[in-house]
Structure 1
């Protein structure tokens, strides 16, 4: 087994084309799984919150023993099925991207249209992973950033759909970033700890200042935790860059979105996707952006 691993690693390091294709194909499959996470995790959390609320309020649940008799619903069960006709999908219906193209974007049973977002997320996952793989080569940092990129995609679309950044994803990312620092994959452990604290407190401070001035909550706690992830990965020096980039992009795209949808400017919009995008860019091009920015200041 060790020899197989060593030979595979050597092949990846010496054959860049094989390395990039392998990353792309694996990430395409991961993108298919991310579609499941994006759809099911918020529903699973909602079920759990409802059960906890009923227990706290001492209400009787459906079962005679106070148990919830709803069918099992998590990332593994039930099997993949059409949301319209509820028919379980065959294995060939779940081939990333290929199945959607062969089925012409429709269910193989009831012919209901399947959203193009599913294959787009798969392609996005593969594309982002290949970009990271190309940028860092076959290294431990590339693997780390690819996995973080997968998580960022899930967080982005969950936040778009539900205005939610689940702790089940953000908190493990914080620990992964801190552990990566202790393994000398990213920055020094002390810098990672300080970065996580500064990242969290940067938006936490803005949140409370805004709330004291307006009496309203301008963002969610999930945004603080996501910023802590990037602080732990990159260090406190990159927090300002990520905040500024995400704020500018969020303001522009958010304003356009509200205008197109005809909604009021007071309508809340998710900030997590812009933090995720800005953080991912900083992961790849942070030093170059820093150099350009400080170079402009000297001018």
Structure 2
């Protein structure tokens, strides 16, 4: 995977994203372009499945940069996200030194905290130099992590460096391209947001979603693709626990194509709703009159 130059305009960013099948709206392409040019992290919020994570993957592939992903979760700590010491390897080194009669404790203390004993986790890996250029660092679903970890990110996002008490400060020779995503299950503190450029990734309008479906599911018929998009767009007007995102639209369109469907029918929709809706309560709501109403709206010419 060879490295590519950064786009030189918003149009260039649109072309770069489109070349990898990511059909972005111009406002997203603009903020992504500015993020690259200004060297600022890009903070993306929006519902699950609207393409926030995908943009990091697309940038990595299109620019020929390594993708380093940190998946956030409750309880995420420094040892899992940044670094830890290999205590087993350190213990072996101590035993070998003792067996060799090396009793210089100060030297031994220095030796066991050498870089070869350092286990580098995603955030530290993202600060390392790379011949292909600075990597793309994806900090995914930051809202799932604890606030204490969010605060720890401030040093990294401010100076792109990590301080390890036993080792010293490691600073990136070139800042990574940082994409942070959040499903907004909780608010992210202003201190972190101020260090980023922000964009809310919304559900796409029908025309763009249709283009996405045709791009990602090339074998789908024109009639079925239009019906799928109309159906999903209508579903998002319903009072569901979780409305389907673009990812679910693509999954459903793929499933229908695998079943050789040519148009939506009540039977076909009922049999495949599990590809589109992921909560039983939502599926239960899509029965009877509600299903007939949405299906009629989707299939009417």
Question: TM-score, with normalisation over the residues of structure 1?
Answer: 0.20
Higher helix proportion: 1
More strand by share: 2
Q: Which has the higher contact order (CA 8 A, sep 6+)?
A: 2
Question: Normalising to structure 2: TM-score of the pair?
Answer: 0.20
Tell me which structure has the larger Cα radius of gyration. 2
